[in-house]
């Protein structure tokens, strides 16, 4: 299955390891991610301010690119996916806005000198894996099941809110990442804070706030019996992982817990060479845990 | 040629202050068929009415027009006056020259006078074609049907039965008592609800006029006010009707079927009271409160069950997860109410009070326990209610926190509530042993379908619609069907009981007549012209139109027709007409004016 | 009708049916009393309907528009008041009081005292000439003693009462016959004038008129005596009723009403200016166990939201504030109504009780607090409307004594069994309806009016064994069966 792929800035630079994992594991299950020939930064959360032109134009430009690619390369349908949840949130909501606001649509189209009316469907990669590929198929392709690793799935905000525009799962009790983990041979552990915010950009301005927010989530995961946390958002991974550096200072007795990006685990379970999946960027090194489970092949 | 008498009222200065009445009289006297025209200061007064009576006799009038105030005020008065002088009351007409002329054109006296003259002219034209009409008399079955055996249904049934009329009470569950039977104690005196309710149930079961069908559902209703035909299916669990069977042969039962299929009862009734009560909003829809996910997050009725000595826990308040007695309980109010974005926009009215009651009962039984209530507004408006809540706060130390709860979750055995205290502006986290959600009160499942079967409208949430929100709270818009209790909107027990008696009063009023009288100024079908196109049938808002079985022309149900005229507009060849407002009358009125 | 059925109510056994009347006395012709009267009259029984005012309608008659539909109060009410006025089964005694009641259910003997109106109603044609001629301009109870500013011929602005000494309550009054208020009438006070007598075309004025008494036999009684508002004089912290432009909610209704003293134009009483900032103060005397009434008066949250909306509809650039403790909008469509006031009409709801109201220059200062920010708030208002506590109608206690019935410590009628018998008293045959038992809104009062009627009809059937006795259609009025 061919799908237009938008890597986004993060997965193109500091998160290159994740991008490797995404592409490889997708290919292994028959999902052909075709990178857009031309793309720009989606603008992160700024397009949500809809009264300014550039912030709308940037993501629309990406959508147009996806549309053109689908037509040129004969994709079944114009479908754009990304593995960065913020990019997903931005692209999907901009698409929704363009579809429903004819006057603004005209303005934006005039600015970017293209005709776009929302023809593309924007889907998060986890959504594509769940509905277009199917977890059963992925399960069949698993070579090294994850040895019942007790893993707490963490979704963050971007794929759940606002529900009417972006959610492809129950915003109060999502299950897709949990189910994917189960298909890969891990044991998903339910915990109450799987959809709480990690603090997002406060990582820059107020890291002590993100530390506390991360602590709430990780403590809850631990007390629910998790040995690891898995997420589908690179920024969440960063906040939950990096802030563990100061956590023991403020919370005595805190035991560090590895935080995986889901494609890393997917690649491992599918038996792929996971060496270039960005392990060195983790603060809490996950490799010892993987070695102990006999899952580390790097 | 008709002999029309016109009587112009001064209405004190209400008409005469603006309109030149003598000139009106002068002009009207010139109209064809007007044989007598006179004015008087107050036509509706006794002397004024006598004037009409005298001249009907003296001048041999066969039609009377009173040019005065709105027909809503005195049409009946003048029709009666005419009737008492031997004239058919439907030959008496009103020309409204007060509300429609004098009062709205007070600064333009000449124009108002001209308008009054023209108004009367049009009514004279109409009167020319008026027919003498007789009101319809329709048969009336003096038996009531009460749907729902909760406190509303029980009260309504009792009131009707005690007035001497037979009542059939249909209840879906196997027991009577409805939701009230699920409660532990009633506020304000916290007595156990089983006793007063038990007495009511006994009174109903033992009343010879009441036939109780439990485990039963109304599956079909046909007919109209005074003559409904009802079909009820009773599921096979019981042996049969509880009481009164020997005395009432009116309820026909089909021969007993094999035990796995329901028994069908059919009977006729004259009036129906809907008392189907409420359900609680499914707490599983409250994802943010973990409803259905966590064992120690329950709803109000589940807590009531724990308080009841005959309940599943034998009257002990315990955590569902491990059976321990909870020391900290949090009540979350407005769980699904007052939430137009995600759940129900309405307020469920009774929760503030039952939460105060539950918290008080908890503190009485677990004195070292801690009760916390998260609220937005405390709605304790009834008699003694304010004081009851204050007592919970002051004597039982129930902590009231003003702020909506945002999240409820359970981990490590504790149920945690995240909320906010808007009065300090700080977020609050309470770790509790048990969380009780005061979920929204919604209509019973199946209410909408029942409404369709009875042709009674419900609002967008399924609450039955009352005929007028202020002045007709116990009547539906469907003649002969009345409403009582939470089926119409959440309400507490005293309000429910009063409303049930109100619905019963309406039924008794209906039954107090020998027959039903229907105004004859309704629609009729000219059979010669009707082509059987059927357009009139969906146009009728009162379901009063249908197609004759084999003649294939439209018919009018005279009991249901309200004379609104929608069918007359839609009829393409004017076969459908209103009595005394036929097309020829409307056209001649227009001609008279132009 | 079997013996068993007569005694089917286990609490009341052994009745003897002697000299039984199936007529009903209804005390109070407000909306609850009117509803009960119509339901009973339409069932073929005679009603004796007594009210102390010169016309029927009670407080609903004073209102401008009603929540949550914003129906004009008189428009929805007059079809009923007119029907009451002309129903052949209703014997109407207005301007009257029940002086004595003896007997038991099935046969009560009632003595009614009609106050002298000083006008012969049998002659009066309600032409209105007397009211027009009367030179007085007095503050009247119907308009809550409002004094409205008017500009005199010399250009001065002075305030005048809104009524005359000889008056009918309103243009829609039923019956529409005048009475003379001897407390203000110049003839009764000083022996001068008698203008009304001079202008009356039918010589209906009778200054010598005496009270008259009437005896009635009835089988049941419904008490629908209604409510009054807590007097502003007791609210010292809010100006004790002496501060100009601090008025009560019913006075605001009169100002908003199209048939009121300003014909519905929004004007400040003191100087006739259009108020640009109006403040509503909730719980003025309610929920205040230390100083005033501990109970909640139930309807004020809703009527304040309504009045604020109506004010904004009339004064588009005005600002409306409502100071509240809890917003009690629990009825059908009430929650949505208050949200509409906030969102569409931009009425500002401030959560906090007002501590003080006083005059400064030509403004009224309101000191309150916004508990959601924790900061004190001061509003410089043009007009302040208080939601005073509801209290039982004057004379309820005396009537209770006369009837040997109970009232609670505040004077509200005590129901037999609060939860399951809200319409019954401890005396058989005497029932309750409406706000006389405690604050309630119009739909509830109407519901109770019908409920009490149902109780009466049921009782009569049991007492007289006349259950289901058919009534001739003529006795119920033409077409009144299927068209309520």
How far is C-alpha A223 from the chain's CA centre? 25
Instruction: Tell me which chain A residue has its CA closest to the CA of residue B417.
Output: A192
- The residue extents of the domains of chain A are 2-126, 143-293
B461 close contact with C: CB closer than 8 A = no
Residue C124 domain-assigned (yes or no) = no
Instruction: Tell me which chain B residue has its CA closest to the CA of residue A194.
Output: B409
Statement to judge: residues C338 and C399 lie in one domain: no
Residue contact A172–B410, C-beta within 8 A: no
Q: What is the mean pLDDT of chain B?
A: 90
What CATH number labels A143-293?
3.40.50.11810
Statement to judge: residues C174 and C220 lie in one domain: no
Statement to judge: residues C150 and C273 lie in one domain: no
Residue C463 domain-assigned (yes or no) = yes
Q: Is the backbone of residue C190 left (phi > 0), alpha (psi -120 to 50) or beta?
A: alpha
List all residues 6 or more positions away from B483 whose beta carbon is below 8 Å from its beta carbon. Answer: B273, B274, B275, B464, B466, B473, B474, B475, B476, B499, B503
B410 close contact with A: CB closer than 8 A = yes
B neighbour chains, 3+ CB pairs within 8 Å? A, C
- HEC string of chain C equals CCHHHHCCCCCCCCCCCCCCCCCEEEECCCHHHHHHHHHHHCCCCCEEEECCCCCCCHHHHHCCEECCCCEEHHHHHHHHHHHHHHCCCEEEECCEEEEEEEEECCEEEEEEEECCCCECCCCCCCCCHHHHHCCCCECCHHHCCCEEEEECCCCCEEEEECECCEECCCCCCCCCCCEECCCCCHHHHHCCCCHHHHHCCCCCECCCCCCEEEEEEECEEEECCCEEECCHHHCHHHCCCCCCCEEEHHHHHHHHCCCCCCCCCCCCCCCCCCCCEEEEEEEECCCCCCCCCCCCCCCHHHHHHHHHHHHHHHCCCCEEEEEECCCCCCCCCHHHHHHHHHHCCCCEEEECCCCEEEEECCEEEEEEEECCCCEEEEEEECEEEEEECEEECCCHHHHHHHHCCCECCCCCECCCECCCECCECCCCCEEECHHHHCCCCHHHHHHHHHHHHHHHHHHHHHHHCCCCCCECHHHHCCCCCCCC
> What is the per-residue pLDDT for C21?
87
Q: DSSP assignment, residue B179?
A: G
Residue C120 domain-assigned (yes or no) = no
B chain contacts of residue A192, beta-carbon cutoff 8 Å: 290, 407, 409-411, 416
Structural domain ending residue among the three candidates C331, C359, C390: C390
State the Cα–Cα distance between residues B212 and B244, nearest whole angstrom: 8
Statement to judge: residues C154 and C295 lie in one domain: no
Residue B241 near residue B206 (C-beta atoms within 8 A): no
Top residue of B408, B409, B417, B431 to mutate, by most chain A CBs within 10 Å, is B409
Size of interface B-C (CB pairs under 8 A): 278
State the Cα–Cα distance between residues B302 and B318, nearest whole angstrom: 11
Indicate which CATH number applies to the domain containing C454.
Answer: 3.50.50.60
Question: How close does chain B come to C356, measured CA to CA in Å?
Answer: 21
Statement to judge: residues C174 and C49 lie in one domain: no
Residue contact C458–B508, C-beta within 8 A: yes
Residue C484 domain-assigned (yes or no) = no
List all residues 6 or more positions away from C12 whose beta carbon is below 8 Å from its beta carbon. Answer: C428
Residue C481 domain-assigned (yes or no) = no
State the Cα–Cα distance between residues C33 and C51, nearest whole angstrom: 9
Other beta carbons within 10 Å of C472: 11
pLDDT tier for residue C482 given thresholds of 50, 70 and 90: very low
> What is the per-residue pLDDT for C15?
44
State the Cα–Cα distance between residues B158 and B199, nearest whole angstrom: 12
The count of domains in chain C is 3
pLDDT tier for residue C472 given thresholds of 50, 70 and 90: very low
Residue C73 domain-assigned (yes or no) = yes
Tell me the pLDDT tens digit for each residue of C97-142: 999 999 999 999 999 999 999 999 999 988 889 999 999 989 999 9
> What is the per-residue pLDDT for A119?
95
Residue C121 domain-assigned (yes or no) = no
In chain C, residues 112-151 whose CB comes closer than 8 Å to chain B: 125-128
State the Cα–Cα distance between residues B37 and B8, nearest whole angstrom: 8
Statement to judge: residues C216 and C337 lie in one domain: no
A224 close contact with B: CB closer than 8 A = yes
Coil, helix or strand at residue B499 = helix
Residue contact B409–A172, C-beta within 8 A: no
Closest CA to B487 of B463, B458, B459, B460: B463
Expressed as residue numbers, the domain containing C194 is 129-199
Q: Which of A78-87, B1-10, B520-529, C69-78 has the lowest mean pLDDT?
A: C69-78
A192 close contact with B: CB closer than 8 A = yes
Cis bond leading into A162, ω under 30°? yes
Structural domain ending residue among the three candidates C358, C390, C422: C390
Residue contact B410–A192, C-beta within 8 A: yes
C432 close contact with B: CB closer than 8 A = no
Statement to judge: residues C236 and C379 lie in one domain: yes
B chain contacts of residue C326, beta-carbon cutoff 8 Å: 377-379
State the Cα–Cα distance between residues B68 and B91, nearest whole angstrom: 16
Top residue of B517, B562, B580 to mutate, by most chain C CBs within 10 Å, is B517
Residue contact B508–C449, C-beta within 8 A: no
Tell me the pLDDT tens digit for each residue of A192-248: 899 999 998 888 899 999 999 999 999 999 989 999 999 999 999 999 999 999 998
State the Cα–Cα distance between residues B78 and B71, nearest whole angstrom: 9
Pairing of strands B523-525, B576-578: antiparallel
Residue C54 domain-assigned (yes or no) = yes
Residue contact B293–A173, C-beta within 8 A: yes
* The two structure tokens encoding residue C332: 């059908």
Instruction: Tell me which chain C residue has its CA closest to the CA of residue B12.
Output: C127
> What is the per-residue pLDDT for B543?
81
> What is the per-residue pLDDT for C474?
42
State the Cα–Cα distance between residues A213 and A233, nearest whole angstrom: 16
State the Cα–Cα distance between residues B244 and B234, nearest whole angstrom: 16
A223 close contact with B: CB closer than 8 A = yes
List all residues 6 or more positions away from A116 whose beta carbon is below 8 Å from its beta carbon. Answer: A60, A63, A64, A67, A98, A105, A108, A109
Statement to judge: residues C90 and C133 lie in one domain: no
Residue contact B411–A171, C-beta within 8 A: no
Residue B20 near residue B109 (C-beta atoms within 8 A): yes
* The two structure tokens encoding residue C431: 């029932």
> What is the per-residue pLDDT for C13?
38
10 Å CB burial of residue C308 (0-12, 13-18, 19+) is buried
> What is the per-residue pLDDT for C259?
83
Helical packing angle, C31-41 and C442-464, nearest 10°? 40
Statement to judge: residues C218 and C83 lie in one domain: yes
The enclosing H or E element of B127 equals helix B109-129
Tell me the pLDDT tens digit for each residue of B179-216: 999 998 887 777 665 588 899 999 999 999 999 999 99
Statement to judge: residues C248 and C353 lie in one domain: yes
- B470 closest CB neighbour out of C295, C298, C442: C442
pTM of the model: 0.84
Question: How close does chain A come to B480, measured CA to CA in Å?
Answer: 44
Mean pLDDT of C425-449: 96
Mean pLDDT of B153-173: 95
List all residues 6 or more positions away from C465 whose beta carbon is below 8 Å from its beta carbon. Answer: C1, C6, C17
Structural domain ending residue among the three candidates C339, C374, C390: C390
- ipTM over 0.90? The verdict is no
Instruction: Tell me which chain A residue has its CA closest to the CA of residue B294.
Output: A192
Residue contact C483–B501, C-beta within 8 A: no
Top residue of B395, B466, B509, B563 to mutate, by most chain C CBs within 10 Å, is B509
Mean pLDDT of B45-49: 77
Pairing of strands C319-324, C277-284: parallel
Residue contact A172–B287, C-beta within 8 A: yes
Instruction: Tell me which chain B residue has its CA closest to the CA of residue C81.
Output: B73
Residue contact B381–C328, C-beta within 8 A: yes
Q: Which CATH class is domain A2-126?
A: mainly alpha
Contact call for A and C: 3+ CB–CB distances under 8 Å: no
Coil, helix or strand at residue B137 = strand
Statement to judge: residues C72 and C155 lie in one domain: no
Does pLDDT of C3 surpass 70? no
Tell me the pLDDT tens digit for each residue of B369-412: 999 999 999 999 888 999 999 999 999 999 999 999 999 999 88
> What is the per-residue pLDDT for B560?
81
Mean pLDDT of B63-67: 96
Does pLDDT of B95 surpass 80? yes
- A223 closest CB neighbour out of B290, B293, B412: B412
Statement to judge: residues C384 and C398 lie in one domain: no
Pairing of strands B263-269, A79-82: unpaired
Residue contact B293–A191, C-beta within 8 A: no
Q: Which of A50-54, B288-292, B450-454, C244-248 has the lowest mean pLDDT?
A: A50-54
């Amino acid at each position: 299955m061919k799908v237009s792929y938008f890597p986004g800035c993060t997965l193109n630079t500091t998160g290159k390891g994740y991008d490797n994992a995404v592409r490889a594991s997708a290919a292994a299950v028959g999902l052909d991610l075709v990178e857009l020939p031309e793309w720009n930064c989606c603008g992160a959360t700024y397009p949500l301010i809809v009264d300014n032109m550039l912030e709308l134009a940037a993501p629309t430009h990406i959508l147009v690119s996806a549309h053109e690619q689908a037509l040129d390369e004969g994709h079944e349908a114009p479908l754009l996916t990304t593995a960065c949840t913020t990019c997903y949130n931005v692209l999907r909501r901009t698409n929704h806005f363009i579809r429903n606001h004819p006057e603004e649509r005209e303005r934006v189209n005039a600015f970017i000198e293209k005709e776009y009316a929302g023809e593309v469907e924007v889907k998060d990669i986890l959504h594509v894996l769940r509905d277009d590929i199917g977890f059963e198929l992925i399960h069949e392709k698993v070579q090294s099941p994850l040895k019942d690793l007790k893993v707490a799935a963490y979704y963050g905000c971007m794929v759940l809110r606002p529900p009417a525009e972006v959610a492809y799962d129950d915003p109060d009790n999502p299950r897709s990442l949990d189910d994917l983990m189960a298909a890969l041979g891990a044991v998903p552990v339910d915990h109450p804070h799987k959809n709480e915010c990690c603090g997002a950009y406060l990582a820059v301005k107020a890291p002590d706030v993100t530390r506390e927010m991360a602590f709430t989530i990780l403590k809850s995961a631990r007390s629910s019996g998790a040995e690891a946390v898995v997420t589908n958002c690179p920024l969440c991974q960063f906040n939950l992982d990096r802030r563990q550096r100061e956590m023991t200072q403020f919370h005595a007795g805190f035991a560090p817990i590895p935080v995986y990006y889901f494609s890393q685990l997917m690649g491992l379970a599918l038996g792929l060479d996971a060496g270039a999946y960005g392990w060195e960027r983790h603060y809490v090194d996950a490799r010892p845990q993987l070695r102990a489970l006999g899952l580390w092949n790097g | 040629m008709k002999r029309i008498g016109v009587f112009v009222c001064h209405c004190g200065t209400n008409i005469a202050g603006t309109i030149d009445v003598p000139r009106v009289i002068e002009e009207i006297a010139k109209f064809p068929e007007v044989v007598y025209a006179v004015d008087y200061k107050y036509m509706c007064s006794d002397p004024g009415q006598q004037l009409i009576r005298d001249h009907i006799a003296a001048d041999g009038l066969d039609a009377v027009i009173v040019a005065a105030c709105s027909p809503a005020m005195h049409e009946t008065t003048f029709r009666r006056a005419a009737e008492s002088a031997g004239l058919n009351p439907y030959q008496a007409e009103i020309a409204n020259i007060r509300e429609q002329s004098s009062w709205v054109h007070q600064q333009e006296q000449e124009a108002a006078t001209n308008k009054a003259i023209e108004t009367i002219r049009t009514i004279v034209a109409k009167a020319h074609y008026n027919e003498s009409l007789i009101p319809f008399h329709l048969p009336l079955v003096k038996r009531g049907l009460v749907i729902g055996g909760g406190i509303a249904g029980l009260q309504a049934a009792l009131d009707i039965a005690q007035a001497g009329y037979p009542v059939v009470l249909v209840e879906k569950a196997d027991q009577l008592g409805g939701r009230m039977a699920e409660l532990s104690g009633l506020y304000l005196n916290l007595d156990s609800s089983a006793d007063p309710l038990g007495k009511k149930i006994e009174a109903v079961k033992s009343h010879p006029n009441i036939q109780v069908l439990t485990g039963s559902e109304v599956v079909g209703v046909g007919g109209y006010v005074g003559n409904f035909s009802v079909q009820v299916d009773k599921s096979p669990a019981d042996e049969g009707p509880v009481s009164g069977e020997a005395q009432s042969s009116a309820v026909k039962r089909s021969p007993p079927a094999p035990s796995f299929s329901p028994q069908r009862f059919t009977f006729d009734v004259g009036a129906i009271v809907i008392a189907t009560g409420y359900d609680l909003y499914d707490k599983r829809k409250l994802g943010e409160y973990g409803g259905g996910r966590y064992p120690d997050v329950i709803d109000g009725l589940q807590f009531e069950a724990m308080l009841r000595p005959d309940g599943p826990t034998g009257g002990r308040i315990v955590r569902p997860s491990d059976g321990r007695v909870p020391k900290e309980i949090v009540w979350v109010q407005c769980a699904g109410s007052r939430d137009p974005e995600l759940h129900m926009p309405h307020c469920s009215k009774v929760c503030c009070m039952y939460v105060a009651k539950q918290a008080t009962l908890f503190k009485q039984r677990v004195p070292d326990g801690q009760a916390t209530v998260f609220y937005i507004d405390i709605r304790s408006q009834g008699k003694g209610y304010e004081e009851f809540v204050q007592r919970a706060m002051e004597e039982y130390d129930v902590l009231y926190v003003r702020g909506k709860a945002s999240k409820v979750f359970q981990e490590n055995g504790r149920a945690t509530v995240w909320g906010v205290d808007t009065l300090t502006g700080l977020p609050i986290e309470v770790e509790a042993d048990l969380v009780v959600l005061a979920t929204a009160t919604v209509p019973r499942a199946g209410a909408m379908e029942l409404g369709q079967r009875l042709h009674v409208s419900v609002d967008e949430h399924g609450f039955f619609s009352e005929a007028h929100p202020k002045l007709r709270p116990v009547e539906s818009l469907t003649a002969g069907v009345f409403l009582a209790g939470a089926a119409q909107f959440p309400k507490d027990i005293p309000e429910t009981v009063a409303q049930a008696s109100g619905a019963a009063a309406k039924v008794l009023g209906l039954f107090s007549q020998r027959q039903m009288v229907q105004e004859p100024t309704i629609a009729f079908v000219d059979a010669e012209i009707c082509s059987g196109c059927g357009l009139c049938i969906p146009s009728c808002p009162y379901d009063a139109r249908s197609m004759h079985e084999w003649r294939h022309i439209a018919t009018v149900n005279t009991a249901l027709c309200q004379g609104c005229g929608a069918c007359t507009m839609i009829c393409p060849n004017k076969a459908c007409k209103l009595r005394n407002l036929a097309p020829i009358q409307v056209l001649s009125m227009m001609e008279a004016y132009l | 009708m079997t013996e068993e059925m007569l005694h089917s109510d286990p609490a009341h056994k052994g009745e003897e049916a002697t000299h039984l009347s199936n007529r009903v006395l209804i005390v109070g012709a407000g909306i609850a009393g009117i509803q009960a009267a119509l339901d009973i009259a339409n069932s073929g029984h005679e009603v004796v309907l007594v009210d102390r005012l010169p016309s029927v309608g009670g407080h609903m008659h004073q209102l401008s528009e009603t929540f949550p539909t914003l129906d004009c109060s008189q428009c929805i009410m007059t079809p009923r008041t007119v029907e009451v006025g002309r129903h052949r089964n209703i014997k109407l005694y207005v301007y009257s009081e029940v002086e004595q009641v003896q007997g038991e259910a099935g046969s009560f003997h009632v003595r009614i005292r009609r106050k002298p109106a000083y006008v012969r109603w049998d002659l009066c044609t309600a032409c209105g000439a007397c009211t027009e001629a009367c030179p007085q301009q007095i503050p009247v109870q119907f308009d809550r003693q409002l004094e409205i500013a008017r500009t005199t011929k010399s250009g001065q602005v002075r305030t005048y009462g809104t009524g005359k000494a000889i008056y009918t309550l309103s243009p829609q009054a039923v019956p529409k016959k005048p009475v003379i208020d001897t407390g203000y009438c110049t003839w009764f006070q000083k022996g001068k004038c008698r203008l009304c007598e001079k202008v009356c075309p039918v010589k209906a004025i009778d200054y010598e008129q005496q009270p008259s008494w009437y005896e009635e036999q009835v089988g049941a009684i419904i008490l629908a005596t209604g409510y009054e508002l807590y007097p502003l004089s007791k609210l010292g912290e809010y100006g004790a009723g002496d501060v100009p432009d601090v008025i009560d909610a019913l006075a605001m209704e009169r100002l908003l009403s199209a048939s009121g003293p300003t014909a519905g134009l929004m004007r400040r009483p003191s100087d006739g200016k259009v108020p640009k900032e109006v403040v509503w103060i909730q719980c003025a005397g309610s929920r205040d166990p230390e100083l005033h009434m501990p109970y909640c008066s139930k309807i004020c949250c809703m009527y304040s939201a309504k009045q604020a909306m109506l004010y904004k509809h009339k004064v588009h650039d005005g600002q409306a504030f409502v100071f509240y403790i809890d917003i009690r909008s629990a009825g059908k469509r009430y929650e949505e109504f208050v949200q509409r006031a906030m969102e569409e009409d931009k009425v500002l709801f401030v959560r906090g009780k007002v501590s003080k109201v006083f005059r400064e220059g030509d403004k009224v200062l309101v000191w309150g607090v916004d508990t959601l920010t924790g900061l004190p708030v001061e509003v410089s208002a043009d007009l302040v409307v208080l939601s005073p506590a509801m209290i039982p109608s004057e004379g309820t206690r005396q009537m209770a004594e006369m009837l040997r019935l109970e009232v609670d410590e505040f004077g509200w009628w005590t129901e037999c069994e609060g939860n399951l018998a809200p319409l019954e008293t401890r005396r058989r045959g005497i029932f309750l309806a409406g706000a006389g038992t405690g604050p309630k809104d119009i739909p509830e009062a109407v519901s109770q009016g019908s409920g009490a009627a149902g109780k009466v009809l049921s009782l009569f059937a049991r007492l007289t064994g006349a259950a289901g006795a058919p009534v001739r259609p003529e006795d119920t009025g033409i077409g009144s069966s299927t068209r309520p």
